[in-house]
Amino acid sequence: MTADTTSPTAPLRLAVVGAGVIGRHHARVALANDGLVVVALVDAVPAAATGAADEIEATGAPRPLTTATIEDAIAQTDIDVVAICSPSGMHVQLAEAALDAGKHVVIEKPLDTTMPRARQIAALAASARERGLVVSVISQHRFDPASVAVARAAHGGGFGRVTSGVASVAWYRSQGYYDSGDWRGTWELDGGGAVMNQGVHTVDLLVWSLGRPVEISAQIGLLAHDRIEVEDTAVATVRFDTGALGVIHCTTAAYPGLSARYAVYGTQGSAVVDDDRLAYFHVAPDADTLESAATTANATAVADAVDQKSDVVPTEHVVGGPPEAEHFLAGHGRQYDDIVDAIRTGRDPGVTVDDALVSLATVRGLYVSATLGQPVRIDDVIDGRYDDVVPVVHASPVAAAEGATR
């Protein structure tokens, strides 16, 4: 059964694969979207799929089919779009099954956990595009009004020449969080820790605004958790093709958990986004202002530069404004609007597999650089030069010493 998107009004029939935390979220997002109907829930653990189906039925919507495999769902009901919400290291394998069956595909972030599989899905997505299929990767924060305003100013020249940026995710994840799923905190299925799982959104937003990353230098550590293989803290510097320089900092060991934040700085303007909302935004109003700023002696800051954040996004997308209703649902909802429209109109989605491949390569490059102790070129990561490098993360010497004295 291939995708039937010929009827412009019928909702697209969505199958969600992986009915865990985010799979249930996709189902809820689809329930709120007139362009989608959830027809199947797939989970290797049958109780997860039936539990999610119970939730949908309780809203008054028709109960979706539940199956243990994607193949069974495809064989048993008509499906237009498959959303892959499994553990990260299974994304490509499940997406391939959906594409082989002629379905449009939505893949949760990150694209996958290895570069060979990421290259494989990039090739499959390119050939699927020739057959009229849409493949998009979830990066819902690219659709937040604050991120859109920053990207527009960065790409459209509003910030002048973008000189630098900083992405910092200072979160807290308990030991209980890592213990809650066997796949969490493993190189094989989580693909990494604070950067690959938690930080990848913010890294993606930095990359989106600053350009194509060229080279990365990084350090990683496992400083505050037990029984995980991956890093809980990482820092890196990145050089972009425009010459812009970036800093990445991601941790799940920042008690009690602060914000995910990124900043973009340029010769004519700058912005800061904090937890998906604009914390600062300024674009020089005119050439005279810039001329005066450039020629004033001893000026360290432009005294009369006003914060324009409230002028560029609605108040619920400004730090300090009222919260956006159902913010987490709204984020995926905005990206699903884009995906439905891309399928309906035959255009590329707002976030393509190639976009996700570059962000994944940046994260993978960070791990390779930290492991080898040398700068790493992102194109070499994409081309497979470092496919064999097994990441190594060093535990905290302080924690080890504390353990020894107990």
Looking at the DSSP bridge assignments, the partners of residue 81 are: 14, 104
Per-residue binding letters, 184-213, with ligand NAD (x by CB under 6 A): -------------x----------------
Contact 323, 316 (CB under 8 A): yes
Cα(327)–Cα(312) distance, integer angstroms: 19
Contact 27, 52 (CB under 8 A): yes
Q: Per CB under 6 A, does 338 bind ligand NAD?
A: no
In the block, residue with structure tokens 């020739």: 130
At closest approach, how far in Å is the CB of 89 from ligand NAD? 8
How many residues interact with ligand NAD (rule CB under 6 A)? Answer: 23
Q: Compare residues 42 and 278 and give the one whose CB is closer to ligand NAD.
A: 42
- For 73, the 3-state DSSP assignment is helix
Spell 263-276 as b/e; 16+ CB within 10 A means b.
bbbbebbbbbbbeb
Among 3, 15, 19, 205, binds ligand NAD (CB under 6 A): 19
Stretch in the footprint of ligand NAD (CB under 6 A) among 20-28, 156-164, 340-348, 398-406: 20-28
Among 2, 4, 10, 21, binds ligand NAD (CB under 6 A): 21
Q: Which two tokens stand for residue 145?
A: 């009004």
- DSSP-derived letter for residue 62 is P
Stretch in the footprint of ligand NAD (CB under 6 A) among 13-21, 240-248, 257-265, 301-309: 13-21
- Contacts of ligand NAD in 23-52 (CB under 6 A): 23, 42-45, 48
At closest approach, how far in Å is the CB of 87 from ligand NAD? 5
Q: Which two tokens stand for residue 94?
A: 């499940």
- Contacts of ligand NAD in 79-138 (CB under 6 A): 85-88, 90, 108-109, 138
Q: Compare residues 19 and 40 and give the one whose CB is closer to ligand NAD.
A: 19
At closest approach, how far in Å is the CB of 134 from ligand NAD? 18
At closest approach, how far in Å is the CB of 140 from ligand NAD? 6
Among 11, 102, 160, 181, binds ligand NAD (CB under 6 A): 181
Cα 7 to Cα 10, 80, 166, 171, 338: the distances in Å are: 6, 12, 45, 45, 18
CA 256, distance to chain mean position in Å, is 23
Q: What is the DSSP string of 288-351?
A: HHHHHHHHSTT-SS-TT----HHHHS-GGGBTTSPPPTTHHHHHHHHHHHHHHHHHHHTPPPSS
Cα(255)–Cα(220) distance, integer angstroms: 18
Stretch in the footprint of ligand NAD (CB under 6 A) among 11-19, 159-167, 270-278, 297-305: 11-19
Helix residue ranges, H only, 131-226 = 145-156, 175-179, 200-210
Which residue minimizes CB distance to ligand NAD?
A: 20
Among 18, 199, 246, 365, binds ligand NAD (CB under 6 A): 18
Per-residue binding letters, 288-327, with ligand NAD (x by CB under 6 A): ----------------------------------------
- For 244, the 3-state DSSP assignment is coil
At closest approach, how far in Å is the CB of 129 from ligand NAD? 23
At closest approach, how far in Å is the CB of 100 from ligand NAD? 15
Q: What is the contact surface with ligand NAD in residues (CB under 6 A)?
A: 17-23, 42-45, 48, 85-88, 90, 108-109, 138, 140, 181, 197
